[in-house]
Amino acid sequence: MKRILSYILLALIASCSGSPGEEEGRVPVAKANNEYLYADELTNLVPNGTPAKDSLEQLKKYIDNWVRESLVIQKAESNLSDEQKNVEKQLQDYRRSLITYSYEKELVRQKLDTVISPSEIEEYYNNNQSDFELKDNIIKVIYVKVDKKAPGIDKLRKWYKSDNMKDREQLAGYCHQFAANFYLDDNSWLLFDDLLKEIPIQTYNKELFLQNNRFVEVADSTNNYFLNIKGFKIKNSISPLSFEKENIKNIILNKRKLELITKMKQDVYNDAANNKKIEIYIK
């Protein structure tokens, strides 16, 4: 591969016309104004095993990109003030921020306590309920979508309304066998708008609909839809704890992260101060 690449570079060099370049002992392959690209800068660009034709195309593409970028950079430098071109401070600030972030990330990985008890979640919820105002309506629901030609629709109509354990088992078995879609976990809260994407319910007042309906049956050209609304919360009311648990966990974890990082920074400062490693020269 190195031999093939050498031939390619020689071909490129031979095709280049003009100045031998500014650096003695180096062979230029391209020039953009007074800036040169040298052959030795191309030697590691092409992966081993690349066919010679493809290697040549990749090298030509690299050279073309180099020329274009060099010209733009030179244009920028000629039109910017010295202050605007001084990126050293920006690079230094970026490096400091990146190193600090990497250290904080590793500190969190090693030291953060991620265990959050149910009592902590409940305490946070009780102390911050004003933060948990619902932006949307939510419901607890049993929902079944079934083809109109499916068997046992009359039994389904009985089962989906029932709280009897045996009827619930019959409903689950039926759904797994015949339903096109279903949801039977009536202990969990769902966004009402998400359910409306599945069921062709037409209503101009969602809150009024929830307040005045318990068992809902609707149909389209091919399917029947059965809905048992087991509970609901209207938007702008306080969201239930069970709906906010994951959100609260994330809030508590983020709070712990901030506390951990703040403590680390203060400990570092205190350690340096106690060991007289800090001096302020402006009084």
The angle that helices 52-79 and 2-15 make with each other, rounded to 10 degrees, is: 50
Handedness of CA 200, 202, 204, 205 (dihedral sign): negative
Cα gap 153→157, rounded to integer Å:
6
| Cα radius of gyration (the chain) | 35
Q: Which residues of the chain have pLDDT under 70?
A: 1-25, 283
The pLDDT of residue 92 is 87
Q: Kind of pairing, strands 28-32 and 179-183?
A: unpaired
The pLDDT of residue 21 is 54
The pLDDT of residue 279 is 81
The pLDDT of residue 58 is 84
The pLDDT of residue 146 is 96
The pLDDT of residue 28 is 84
Cα gap 101→122, rounded to integer Å:
32
Cα gap 30→28, rounded to integer Å:
6
The reported pTM is 0.65
The pLDDT of residue 1 is 46
CA atoms within 13 A on the CB side of 251: 14
The pLDDT of residue 24 is 63
Cα gap 122→139, rounded to integer Å:
21
Domains of the chain, each with CATH number or no CATH? 2-82 (no CATH), 94-131+240-273 (no CATH), 134-233 (3.10.50)
The pLDDT of residue 234 is 94
**Closest listed residue to residue 211, CA positions, set 132, 136, 139:** 139
Cα gap 46→62, rounded to integer Å:
10
